[in-house]
């Protein structure tokens, strides 16, 4: 078995695509119509993708179910950045709203800050703490 990517299923594909490219600054490797995009997460690695939920639902027999919104997070997308505080300032200046401010988490060995994407997927930006 070989890992391919983590793919989140989204209702509003274009809004999420714009968020991850124009606001968060990820480089799209693929943008297929209004249904699928993968993003470069490191040199030569596309480990994160979005896919239109309404296209996946019939395949797995979930067309009668709604996507959960307004519930406790079940997953989180985590990105390492060079400097959490600089990323926080830069993204805040672009209008992104954060859940908290950058903070040290000594037990985790990192400095973190958190925000949501347009569909309430939790995102963490972190920088390892100096040891």
* Nearest of 124, 117, 131 to residue 37 by alpha carbon: 117
Question: Residue 83: what pLDDT?
Answer: 97
Closest by CA position to 117, among listed 13, 46, 16: 16
92-120 confidence digits (pLDDT tens): 999 999 999 999 999 999 999 999 999 99
User: What confidence score (pLDDT) does residue 66 get?
Assistant: 83
pLDDT (tens digit per residue) in 69-78: 778 888 899 9
* CA geometry: angle 78, 82, 87, nearest 5 deg: 75
Cβ atoms within 10 Å of 47's Cβ, excluding its own:
14
Termini Cα distance of the chain: 35
Residues 51-62 have pLDDT tens digits of: 999 999 998 998
Percent of the chain whose pLDDT exceeds 90: 73
Segment 35-46 shows an average pLDDT of 90
Q: How far is it, in rounded angstroms, from Cα 74 to Cα 122?
A: 9
Predicted local confidence at residue 68, as pLDDT: 79
Please report the pLDDT score of residue 88 as a whole number.
98
How high is the pLDDT of residue 69?
A: 75
């Amino acid at each position: 078995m070989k890992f391919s990517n983590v793919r989140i299923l989204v209702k509003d594909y274009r809004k999420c695509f714009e968020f991850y490219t124009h606001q968060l600054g990820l480089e799209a490797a693929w943008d297929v119509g209004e249904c699928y995009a993968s993003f470069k997460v490191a040199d030569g690695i596309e480990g994160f993708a979005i896919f239109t939920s309404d296209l996946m639902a019939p395949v797995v027999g979930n067309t009668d179910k709604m996507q959960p919104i307004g519930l406790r997070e079940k997953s989180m997308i985590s990105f390492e950045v060079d400097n959490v505080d600089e990323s926080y300032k830069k993204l805040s200046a672009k209008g992104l709203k954060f859940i908290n401010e950058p903070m040290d988490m000594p037990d985790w060995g990192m400095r973190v800050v958190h925000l949501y994407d347009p569909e309430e997927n939790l995102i963490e930006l972190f920088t390892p703490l100096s040891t």
